[in-house]
Every structure is written in C-alpha cells, then in structure tokens.
Amino acid sequence: MEETAPQKGTVTQRAIERITAMIREGELEPGERLPTEREFAARLGISRSSMREAIRALTVLGVVEARHGSGIYVTRLEAGDLLETFGVVADLSRGRQLVELLEVRRVLESNATALAAARITPDRLAEVEKHLAAMNATDDPEEILAHDLAFHREIAAAAGNGTTAAILEGLSSRTFRARVRRGYQEEGAFARTRREHAAIHRALAARDPEAARAAAAAHVGAVEEWLRARLED
C-alpha cells in the first residue's frame, strides 16, 4: 500500500539511510548493481514510489548512478563524485554564507598549499608556473579566471589528498570565483592578485611549506576581508 504524503518523506529518508548503511557495511560494494526496484522495495518493506525517490536522491548525491538499459549501480564512491553538489552550494551562496565558504577555502587551501610545497614534482611546478605566466600575459578576465582556476587546481592535486582537492574544486568553481572576482577587480585589485599568485609560486619553488601556507592564506584572506567589508557597508 502506498504511504500517505505526510509519511512519504520519512519513509524515503529511512530508505536512503538503509541503503547507505548497506554500502557502509559492505552489503553493497562500489560498482555493484542494485536489485530491481520491485525487489529492493520488497526487501526494505517500502513502496516502489518511496524506493524510486530514495534512488533519485542518492543519484543526485552521486552515491548511485543509472546506466541506460543496465540498471542502477553503486558509484566508485570517490570524493570528486560525492562532493559534486558542493559546487552548486557555492554557486548559489550569497552574503554571509559566501564569506563563510571563503573562510573554509582559506583554511583548506593554505594547508593544501603547504603540503604541495613539500610534495610538488618539477613537472607539476612547471604547470603552476605556466598558468601564472598566462595570467600575467593577458588582461582578459575570462582567460585570467581560467588560468587562476587551473593554477589552484594543480596545487591542490600536488598536495596529494583527493578529498581536499575535491572540496576545493567545489569552493573554486568557475561561477563562484567569477562572482567574487567581478566585484573584487572593480576595486582595482587585479595587480594585487597577480602579486599574491606570484608569492604562492615562489614559496612552492622554494619548497617552503610555511611560506606557501602564509601566501595562500593571505591570497584568499584578502578576498574574504574585501567581501566582509562590502557586507558591512
């Protein structure tokens, strides 16, 4: 029997929790195909409509994926897949929530940059330098933004922590960065951001984790303080 509307959300949530528990406990493994909707609903003792809603929610979260003509599968459960929706949150944030996200980015990016200074390979350092040079060689905001994102992406990858890199990718999404940068640059901060990127590169090249941490914190912190000041005006 179908659940009534007031109950459905609760039943669906319980189904989501049960499925995630099955994955956590190893009853369902990454890459494994889920039972059919009818079989799974009967197994969990819920209606097919509630099962359908639970699967839809888990698909949005990146926990399961639909393969056309094949069925529903548990994803690889990698950080980049599971944190995909984080970038959406960043893109839609406004006001003080935007400041909070920048604060989180400052903490994570400064630590990731310090790790990168200790671990970066010559090839990856060359990539960082390439994007820095490209930022300095153009006044086109779109080109600068693209190389800015790539500059920080290379550093996050060099830190060697996939989860941190995935979170920073969400916090540094193109739309999020463009929204902040647009106003920031209108106040003449273009040259300063170039200097900040250069300071980060120098610290990486010197293999100096503490200098790298400080340079990254100052870079994100400058934007954070600018945004705080705008909200207070």
On the question of pLDDT at 192 being above 60, the answer is yes
pLDDT at 98: 81
pLDDT band at 91 (very low <50, low <70, confident <90, very high): low
Contact 87, 170 (CB under 8 A): yes
Mean pLDDT of the chain: 86
Is the separation of the CB atoms in 15 and 51 below 8 Å? Answer: yes
Q: pLDDT: is 97 or 5 the higher one?
A: 97
Q: Where residue 173 falls among pLDDT bands split at 50, 70, 90?
A: confident
Q: Are 172 and 153 in contact (CB under 8 A)?
A: yes
Q: Which domains does the chain have, with CATH numbers?
A: 5-77 (1.10.10.10), 82-232 (1.20.120.530)
Rounded CA separation 203/221 (Å): 17
Chain-centroid distance of CA 123 in Å reads: 24
Dihedral of CA 132/138/139/142: which sign?
Answer: negative
Q: What is the mean pLDDT of residues 105-125?
A: 96
Q: What pLDDT is stored for residue 87 in this prediction?
A: 65
End-to-end CA distance of the chain: 57
For 105-168, the DSSP string reads HHHHHHHHHHHHHHH--HHHHHHHHHHHHHHHT---HHHHHHHHHHHHHHHHHHHT-HHHHHHH
Query: pLDDT tens digit string along 31-43?
Result: 999 999 999 999 9
Task: Please state, in angstroms and rounded to a whole number, the distance separating the CA atoms of residues 130 and 22.
Answer: 46
Q: What is the pLDDT of residue 67?
A: 92
Q: What is the pTM of this model?
A: 0.71
pLDDT number for residue 208: 98
Residue 210 has pLDDT above 60, yes or no: yes
* 195 sits in which H/E element: helix 190-205
Q: What is the pLDDT of residue 7?
A: 47
Q: Give the pLDDT band (50/70/90) at residue 176.
A: low
Would you state the pLDDT for residue 171?
Answer: 81
Return d(Cα 163, Cα 156) in angstroms, integer: 10
Q: How confident is the model at residue 88 (pLDDT cuts 50, 70, 90)?
A: low
Two structure tokens written together for 71: 């069925």
How many Å apart are CA 71 and CA 59, to the nearest integer?
Answer: 12
